[in-house]
Structure 1
Amino acid sequence: MQLKKTKKMNTLLNVETRNAVLLRMAELLESEREAIIKINKADLDAYNGDDISMYDRLKVDDSKVDEMIKSATHLASQEDPVGVERFSFKHDNGMQVYNKTASFGTVLIIYESRPDVTVEAAGIAFKSGNKILLKGGKESLKSNLKIVELWHQALKEHGASSNWVEYLQFNRTETQAFLEKPTQKLDLIVPRGGERLIAFVKEHASCPVIISGRGNNFVYVHKEADIELALKVIINAKTAKISACNALDKVLIDENLPNKETFIKTLISKLKEFKVQILGDEAISKFEGVEPIESDDIWYQEFLDYKIAMAEIGSNEDTIAMINKYSGGHSSSIITTNDEIAKVFMANVDTAAVYHNASTRFTDGSQMGLGGELAISTDKLHQRGPIGLQHLVTNKWYVHGNGQIR
């Protein structure tokens, strides 16, 4: 019997080469800045949807290019996440046993709209020693292909194969077929997008999937809240970037909050300055400028828009139960001067990130000290919350012996 020839695999690039490629990528992003922005303008002009969050994620301007450059440079400065010893053990029979971090192999990133993912997420996966397959949305095709062209240039200039970063120009049917029966080795899939994309990937994938789930984030204004702080946090979390998964969707206000009516009126006024549509329960909808909530289904929804839902609530315990029922498992915040109440809230709310007196907008790899993120996972395995460089690895056992048998 003759064995079939297997496709030649990519040998792990040493960390010096990976870092050199990332630094060269940063240089190319700077030198091609104008070309990238011009090509992205063509994608923006061709976008005919009315989803303002999608448009916001699609847009590449100088600040977005700056972020891409910063991400690539920072990744190059970080320690190699591959081959880090996690555990060692000397067996009674003399064998030396080690457990070390290892790359996954091939990571497929499926994403909508965001050309910066083509740098940041791909860069994290690349620095972690993985081959990258990118499947972006049709709305950002020109921008993505330009950035992948830069990846290939950086790789070739440092003697590495361009197939370390590969772009898949598949339609939906081709993508489904690839997920179900990959035509090359596939070890991990990371979908970056809305609930429909995530559901599609989960349904058809034949390998592990890290779920970067919906936001639907809550802020609870406890009866012992600092009112000015509460206003500042809510306005920031709702309006700073409505397209972000860490943006605020729901506000729960303690029914025993002192000067509650004044607080609610002030909050409504400030939200209206940003043209936010406000939906309210029976108590909140009595205020001018608030539309009544017609169905409890609204509490499950992630808005990604200038839209917010508000309600009064009776206690910390009721708030915890409501968040755990309706939220996407992403982020939640309590505004209170009572540390014990905050401690109970943070221990019992079942979200990847919990905050005390701070905006949910900090659920982000760079803000959490990771330097960037592949995704923000709402799964509890294999990593929860922002997935940084040190998390995009699996592990491997190394056993050294001299003839031991069992």
Structure 2
Amino acid sequence: MLHSIPIAKRNTILTRMAALLEQERANIKLVNVEDSVNYSGADLAMRKRLLVDDEKIDGMIASLQQLVGQEDPIGKLLYSFTPENGMKIQNKTASFGTILIIYESRPDVTVEATAIAFKSGNKILLKGGKESLRTNLKIVSLWHQALSDNDIPNHWISYLNFDRNETQQFLEHPSQKVDLIVPRGGEALIDFVKKHATCPVIVSGRGNNFVYVNQEADLDKALSIIINGKTSNISVCNALDKVLIDTTLPKWETFAKKVVSELQQRNVTVLGDATIAQVTNVLQIESDAIWHEEFLDYKIVIGTVNSNQEAIAKINRYCGGHSASIITKNDLLANEFMENIDAAAVYQNASTRFTDGGQFGLGGELAISTDKLHQRGPLGLQHLVTNKWYIYGDGQIR
């Protein structure tokens, strides 16, 4: 098994991969240009996720360097018990075995997710989107070089260059043992994987994140957080899609107009519920169904509520279970909000854009899980493990 390789050697491979990314920086960008030119779709978020520039390569390298400094997640003692018969019983962390990662158009996943799965003792199967095929294959070739430079067989990191039918066949009748599947992408991809998979699946689900502006909010902070959440990167699952403004907020109408104006100046299409549409003259939403949608676009919906409790109820009804933030100076109200919101990450006075493995100190993430089993939120190195029981005896029988 991979986790029998000394941790120092695993770290050496990650360090070597970081060096190769720097060494091949120009060639990676050149290959990525081919993928970008060949993408003919109109999906702006897809195009942004597909792009590999210097900033993204810097992020890949930084995630590898951060992972190198983290402890080995394998073999950590979780529980120990010695019964009267003298046996020694221990529970320790263990690798899953083989993890299949299916993702759309994000070549940085080929680095970050692979690195996390590798260091946590797993064999990795990668199935990226056709849009980023050339870039993914280039990055996988660098992984293979890092492995071979350290006498590790290339089959520990494999790329599955499958079309949709071949992927379905592999999910239903895998040609090798797969212990866990992590799909990263839209709801159509997730539904496809869950329908056909024959092993456990961890869902990296939709965002549809909310900010609630409470009656005791600092309005300058609220405005900054909303602008950042919506416009800093529309193509990610931690982007902001919905804003709720408490009508008990003093001069809330003035604040709502300011938010709409600032968003529109940044080319964001703003829709509102009946109250917001009347106050600000934005288009009114046609149906409450839109509250369920993740946009991945320069688009946002603003609505009103009358209390903390109403905000909690509305967010729990419509959000994707990813992230939600309350803007308030009242710590008691914030605590009530954070304890009762059913999401992987809850915030007080901060942007939902921070829900990210690197920002949380995890060295990147395999995915951001909106499931509750076995781990919720960013899946970092220490989360990508299962457990195993070790029992040491001396002839005991039951």
State the TM-score, normalized to the length of structure 2.
0.98
Cα displacement (A) at 1:283: 0.9
Which of 179, 198, 201 aligns to 1:187? It is: 179
Structure 2 CA distance, aligned partners of 1:183 and 1:289? 58
Match of 1:5 in 2: none
Cα displacement (A) at 1:343: 1.1
Match of 1:361 in 2: 353
CA RMSD between the two structures: 1.0
Cα displacement (A) at 1:332: 0.3
Match of 1:404 in 2: 396
Q: In the TM superposition, what whole-angstrom CA distance separates every residue of 1:373-393 from its partner, at most 9, and x where no partner exists?
A: 111000001000111000000
Cα displacement (A) at 1:290: 1.3
Match of 1:14 in 2: 6
Structure 1 CA distance, aligned partners of 2:363 and 2:9? 20
Aligned positions of 1:294-313 closer than 5 A = 294-313=286-305
Amino acid at match of 1:405: I
CA contact (8 A) 2:226 2:240 kept: yes
Cα displacement (A) at 1:14: 2.4
Structure 1 CA distance, aligned partners of 2:53 and 2:146? 22
Which of 35, 50, 63 aligns to 2:42? It is: 50
Cα displacement (A) at 1:286: 2.1
Q: How many residues align?
A: 398
Cα displacement (A) at 1:340: 1.2
Which of 122, 125, 137 aligns to 1:133? It is: 125
Aligned positions of 1:61-80 closer than 5 A = 61-80=53-72
Amino acid at match of 1:340: L
Q: Quote the sequence identity (%).
A: 64
Cα displacement (A) at 1:341: 1.1
Structure 2 CA distance, aligned partners of 1:47 and 1:182? 30
Which of 270, 276, 287 aligns to 2:268? It is: 276
Which of 117, 138, 143 aligns to 1:151? It is: 143
Does residue 328 of the first structure (1) align with residue 296 of the second (2)?
Answer: no
Aligned positions of 1:99-118 closer than 5 A = 99-118=91-110
CA contact (8 A) 2:2 2:122 kept: no
Structure 1 CA distance, aligned partners of 2:253 and 2:2? 64
Structure 1 CA distance, aligned partners of 2:171 and 2:281? 47
CA contact (8 A) 1:25 1:150 kept: yes
Q: In the TM superposition, what whole-angstrom CA distance separates every residue of 1:52-99 from its partner, at most 9, and x where no partner exists?
A: 111101100001111111111221221110011111111211111111
Cα displacement (A) at 1:288: 4.7
Amino acid at match of 1:98: Q
Structure 1 CA distance, aligned partners of 2:271 and 2:4? 53
Structure 1 CA distance, aligned partners of 2:327 and 2:57? 35
Amino acid at match of 1:299: W
Amino acid at match of 1:273: Q
Structure 1 CA distance, aligned partners of 2:33 and 2:157? 24
Structure 2 CA distance, aligned partners of 1:338 and 1:263? 19
Match of 2:76 in 1: 84
CA contact (8 A) 1:23 1:72 kept: yes
CA contact (8 A) 2:3 2:95 kept: no
Does residue 285 of the first structure (1) align with residue 277 of the second (2)?
Answer: yes
CA contact (8 A) 2:3 2:121 kept: no
Secondary structure of the corresponding residue to residue 283 of structure 1 = helix
Structure 1 CA distance, aligned partners of 2:50 and 2:24? 18
Aligned positions of 1:169-248 closer than 5 A = 169-248=161-240
CA contact (8 A) 2:102 2:127 kept: yes
CA contact (8 A) 2:67 2:362 kept: no
Secondary structure of the corresponding residue to residue 324 of structure 2 = strand
Secondary structure of the corresponding residue to residue 166 of structure 2 = helix
Structure 2 CA distance, aligned partners of 1:73 and 1:222? 40
Structure 1: where are the runs of 5+ without partners?
Answer: 1-8
CA contact (8 A) 1:268 1:289 kept: no
CA contact (8 A) 2:110 2:136 kept: yes
Structure 2 CA distance, aligned partners of 1:71 and 1:187? 25
CA contact (8 A) 2:344 2:370 kept: yes
Structure 2 CA distance, aligned partners of 1:342 and 1:27? 44
Structure 1 CA distance, aligned partners of 2:168 and 2:10? 31
Structure 2 CA distance, aligned partners of 1:13 and 1:182? 26
Structure 1 CA distance, aligned partners of 2:7 and 2:23? 24
Which of 334, 337, 356 aligns to 2:329? It is: 337
The farther-off stretch of 72-81 and 244-253 is: 72-81
The runs of at least 4 consecutive aligned structure 1 residues that moved more than 4 Å come to: none
CA contact (8 A) 1:278 1:289 kept: no
